[in-house]
Structure 1
Amino acid sequence: MKLKDGFVTHMFDDTQILIGTETVSFKGIVNSNKTAAFIVDCLKTDTNESKIVDKMLEKYDADRTVIEEDVHMIIRKLQDIGALDE
């Protein structure tokens, strides 16, 4: 899966914004904290949930189950707005 072309991100301070451009049906802005931004950044190249979880475990000192739940939740939200090519 991968973030669809037509979605762009911009980081300022500790917040990442994800914006749908005119080429996608989602017309809005998604604000992400640093953890969600890390997941979105992973999705800029073709990947899967398992690989994202592994990358997060390398970066964050957290329980695998918690990370798996967070990754799954963020991916579901991105799927709901049509932001992912699967």
Structure 2
Amino acid sequence: MKIKEDFVLRKVADSYVVVPVNKLTLDFNGIINLNETGAFLFEKLQSDCEKADLLKAMLDEYEVSEEKASADIDSFIKKLEEADVLE
């Protein structure tokens, strides 16, 4: 899975936002706000990867249980799918 090319992540003050660029500005109105972990996962998803890759990256970066990280990744991916951000 991978983030569509026309979505970019930006840090604004202490917040992370995802905004559409190019042709997606016509179809997608608004922005997506992310916390630090969401931004971390978003950056990983800018390259094609699988859930197992995301899980390994989260476990390497954060002090979190595998079960909690897995559930958080599932929730994050679901929200990205609902917003039609994934290819």
Structure 1: runs of 5+ lacking an equivalent: none
RMSD (Å), alpha carbons: 1.2
What letter is aligned with 2:12?
Answer: F
Structure 2: runs of 5+ lacking an equivalent: none
Match of 1:10 in 2: 10
Query: 1:53, 1:67 within 8 Å by CA — same for their partners in 2?
Result: yes
Residues 11-26 of structure 1: matches in 2 within 5 Å?
11-24=11-24, 25-26=27-28
How many residue pairs get matched? 85
Query: 1:21, 1:27 within 8 Å by CA — same for their partners in 2?
Result: no
Q: Point out 4+ residue stretches in structure 1 off by more than 3 angstroms.
A: none
Secondary structure in structure 2 of the residue aligned to 1:71: helix
Match of 1:59 in 2: 61
Distance 2:9 2:84 in 1: 15
The CA deviation at 1:22 is 4.7
Match of 1:47 in 2: 49
Higher strand share: 1
What letter is aligned with 1:41?
Answer: E
Match of 1:68 in 2: 70
Distance 2:80 2:28 in 1: 10
Select between 59-68 and 15-24 the one with higher mean Cα deviation: 15-24
